[in-house]
A and B are shown apart, each in its own frame.
Chain A
């Protein structure tokens, strides 16, 4: 029987899709001829909502821009406000911020591992990864009072000081994680099933990655050493030692290896943060929410999230409200230009595999 064109929707309700979005696939047999990304399932209008609130009120919204990794949003927002308002954060608050950001990166990588392994049917890895991520969330619960949306990194510092004995508990977790990550190497990263599926799939060339503005593991997976923490250090990253892992092949497996190496680097950074944590205050005095005004100026700040460069543009107009805020995350370019290109010629069974390797988070596209 002759194969005919079939059009199917992959998502928005599909276990192999990273969030509420869908990909329209034109197939001949199992091979994809054309892929079209559709978003619009969870538009909440963050940028517009922020314009209608005072600076302090807006701070509670930004963490919702990325569910798996809310902290880079909080850090970006706080850093942008501080830069506009001319606030200087205490060293202890900066170290705590780095600790929160690295713990959050680690949690996000575990979530990626769950999704990436699930996309090829290695469900045990997913169960383990979610359980281990929960250990990090336990620490967040203790530090911030919430497990997922922490609302902790605040303009002027952080909202609470470290609880008693918290650094010891972080150290205990680091020791456990260093041992535990080797188990993931055995059952997932070095697993022949994963290698056979991921090597040579979803290849991106160096030139293409640079020309289209791809970031994060997509860029590092094809050999470009780009990391905001090194290229434009923020907080206290310039006082910490770490490497930027890269691979050269640019395929799904290269991106997985980069992510796995980054988990080791996060543990290394956390280890240094725990040892170097300075004493002092965690919050400077800031005006109340009716009196907190931003000058007529604008700024562009960026951090390195678990999925790549994450930037905020913020403009003030002299009032207590933010005139304009724009979010530039990795998901927009990765979900549109990159995913649509990569899927052409790929097999239907590789859609979830490729998509998970790109770090796409739909709320960030529809901010």
Chain B
């Protein structure tokens, strides 16, 4: 291998020393939390007062991640099926097509995305009702 003296190429990387005085890009998580962007596609919420149980969300979901489940909660009077969507987060890819096709716009994705659980069955997630 031929080696030649490349003075610029040898000295210029030393400018990395200036990085010691730069502010770090990382944050001290969990003490400092990163703010999620508005409109982030996180967990689902479903405003039951608006949900009409039409199952459009179930129909459009290409991963079969949505089941319509009978609800015992208070629901919209137009919801003749008395069913509301339940999401399987083992299958969901957060594409948000289900929220796009929701006629009353009751199903939405919120910026909450942390769910720690010991039970695999908790992947079957019942979207929170809006308060």
A145 near B62 with CB under 8 A, answer no
Interface residue from B9, B25, B60 paired with A56 (Cβ < 8 Å)? B60
- A residues in contact with B10, CB < 8 Å: 192
Q: How many residues of B contact A (CB 8 A)?
A: 30
A50, closest chain B residue (CB): B62
Q: Report yes or no: B6 in contact with A134, Cβ–Cβ below 8 A.
A: no
Task: Given A141-B37, A151-B96, verify A187-B13 contact (CB < 8 Å).
Answer: yes
Q: Which residue of A lies closest to B93 (CB)?
A: A60
Interface size class of A (residues with CB under 8 A): 35 or more
Nearest CB in chain A to that of B25: its residue? A131
Task: Give Cα A149 to B26, complex, Å.
Answer: 22
B 71-106 to A, binary, CB cutoff 8 A, 1 in contact else 0: 000000000000000000000011111001100000
Query: For the complex, what is the distance from the CA of A173 to the CA of B108, rounded to whole Å?
Result: 30
Partner of B101, one of A128, A131, A288: A288
The smallest C-beta distance from B1 to any residue of chain A, in angstroms, reads: 8
A151 near B95 with CB under 8 A, answer yes
Least CB distance from A173 to B in Å reads 13
Docked complex Cα distance between A53 and B39 (Å): 27
Report yes or no: B37 in contact with A138, Cβ–Cβ below 8 A: yes
A188 to B, closest residue via Cβ:
B13
Q: A238 near B: Cβ within 8 Å?
A: no
Q: Is A196 an interface residue (CB 8 A)?
A: yes
**Contact residues in B for A138 (Cβ distance below 8 Å):** 37
Q: Are B8 and A190 in contact (CB under 8 A)?
A: yes
Bound-state Cα–Cα, A151 to B95, Å? 6
A191 touches B96 (CB 8 A): no
CB of B15 within 8 Å of the partner chain: yes
Report the nearest A residue to B62, measured CB to CB.
Answer: A57
| Complex-state Cα separation, A190 to B13, whole angstroms | 8
Per-residue interface assignment for chain A, residues 130 to 157, with 1 indicating a CB less than 8 Å from any chain B CB and 0 otherwise: 0110100010011001100101000000
Per the bound structure, the CA–CA distance linking A260 and B54 in Å amounts to 52
Say yes or no: A145-B9 contact (C-beta < 8 A), given A60-B62, A187-B16, A289-B101: no
B9 and A192 contact, CB distance less than 8 A: yes
A160 B97 Cβ-Cβ under 8 A:
no
Q: In the complex, which of the residues B25, B26, B94, B97 contacts A146, with contact meaning CB atoms closer than 8 Å?
A: B94
Q: A186 at the A/B interface (Cβ < 8 Å)?
A: yes
Contacts of A61 in B (CB 8 A): 62
Asked if A276 is at the interface (CB within 8 A of a chain B CB), the reply is no
Contact code string B27-39 (vs A, CB < 8 Å = 1, else 0): 0000000001111
26 A–B contacts from the bound complex (CB under 8 Å): A57-B60, A58-B62, A60-B62, A60-B97, A61-B62, A132-B25, A134-B25, A138-B37, A145-B39, A145-B40, A145-B109, A151-B96, A159-B100, A183-B15, A187-B12, A188-B13, A190-B8, A191-B13, A193-B9, A195-B6, A196-B6, A288-B101, A289-B60, A289-B97, A289-B101, A290-B59
List the 5 closest pairs (A to B, CB-CB), nearest first: A192-B9, A57-B62, A145-B41, A131-B25, A60-B95
